[in-house]
Chain A
Amino acid sequence: GENVEQHPSTLSVQEGDSAVIKCTYSDSASNYFPWYKQELGKRPQLIIDIRSNVGEKKDQRIAVTLNKTAKHFSLHITETQPEDSAVYFCAASRRREKLTFGTGTRLTIIP
């Protein structure tokens, strides 16, 4: 089955700097890669996703890149703000099937 690895497990950045979180996946048939943000005690919220026919996607300060050959994808957050502090999860799936999640990255923005 699919295995998703996520790094780093914790990340602290100064407010205004950029943050990068990286994930690798094992199943070459996976074609959908969402990123979720989970604040303490809250539900995971979808922040951005990418499909395998696209190499990069951007939404304001958030961007995701996908390298299908290397089977890795990354989340980039620019101009970080205190409200970006949360746990971020990457995930992978085949079309319409289960999501396999990474282990999460705790991002802390230092004011």
Chain B
Amino acid sequence: DAGVTQSPTHLIKTRGQQVTLRCSPKSGHDTVSWYQQALGQGPQFIFQYYEEEERQRGNFPDRFSGHQFPNYSSELNVNALLLGDSALYLCASSQQGAETQYFGPGTRLLVL
């Protein structure tokens, strides 16, 4: 049974570029949440997707957008990258109706 997977593992971009990160949830899970973890800090909630809709959103600008596909996988898109967007981006999946969230290995994004 595969756990949560994310791709790519690492990414280097320059300021102003756009990036797309991908997440496949744990088998049987239908809800995907995205978090940003800056170095030395706890994960910060970006948004959550269920039934292909954004259900809840954290305090992040509109440059951060997402999508969920019918197979429950999800993408995180960040436009107009800033240096401050450099972080580990974590995807977590859960079952609708359950609180427990399981994290993927993350994508480490470096913006130069």
Contact = CB atoms under 8 A, between A and B. Distances in A.
Contact of B56 (A6, A43, A97): A97
A96 B99 contact: yes
Contacts of B99: 32, 34, 49, 51, 93, 95-96
Contacts, number: 57
A14 interface: no
A16 interface: no
Contacts of A6: 42
Interface string A1-18: 000001000000000000
Interface residues on A, range: 20 to 34
Contacts of A46: 100-102
A89 interface: yes
Contacts of A89: 42-43
B66 interface: no
B43 A101 contact: yes
Nearest to B43: A101
Interface in A33-50: 34, 36, 42-46, 49
Given A98-B45, A98-B56, A49 B100 contact: yes
Given A32-B99, A34-B100, A93-B99, A99 B105 contact: no
B103 A45 contact: yes
B76 interface: no
Interface string A72-102: 0000000000000000010101011111111
A51 B98 CA distance: 12
B75 to A, nearest CB: 19
16 contacts: A32-B99, A34-B99, A43-B90, A44-B43, A95-B99, A96-B31, A96-B97, A97-B48, A98-B45, A98-B56, A99-B43, A103-B41, A103-B42, A104-B40, A104-B41, A104-B42
